[in-house]
């Protein structure tokens, strides 16, 4: 596993990480890794979507269906 060093972290950010760590009874490092993982997860979305088959459903049909389901 690789290491990451982050410099010049604002004090208020460290304090929030410490607060989250105490609340979840874990380390600041574990909280930082969890938050970085959640923040970067959307980067995988494009690759995931590219693997899905195209269903050839017009966007207008989807929008109409969504609107109908909300009535």
Q: What is the rounded distance in angstroms from the CA atom of residue 7 to the CA atom of residue 5? A: 7
Q: How high is the pLDDT of residue 46? A: 83
Domain-located, residue 57: no
- Can you give the residue range of the structural domain that contains 27? 8-52
At 49 the pLDDT is: 84
Task: Please classify residue 20 by burial: count the beta carbons closer than 10 Å to its beta carbon, then call 0-12 exposed, 13-18 middle and 19+ buried.
Answer: middle
Question: How many other CB atoms sit within 10 Å of the CB of residue 31?
Answer: 19
Over residues 60-67, the mean pLDDT reads: 95
Q: Indicate whether 3 belongs to any domain.
A: no
| The pTM of the whole model exceeds 0.85 | no
- The total of structural domains in the chain comes to 1
- The predicted-structure confidence for 9-62, as pLDDT tens digits, reads as follows 999 999 999 999 999 999 999 999 999 999 998 888 888 888 989 899 999 999
Give the pLDDT confidence score for residue 56 in this predicted structure. 92
């Amino acid at each position: 596993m690789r290491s990451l060093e982050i410099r010049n972290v604002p004090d208020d950010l460290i304090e929030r990480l410490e607060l989250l760590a105490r609340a979840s009874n874990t380390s600041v490092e574990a909280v930082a890794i969890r938050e970085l993982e959640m923040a970067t997860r959307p980067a995988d979305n494009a690759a995931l979507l590219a693997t899905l088959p195209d269903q050839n459903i017009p966007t207008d049909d989807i929008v109409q269906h969504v609107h109908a389901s909300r009535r």
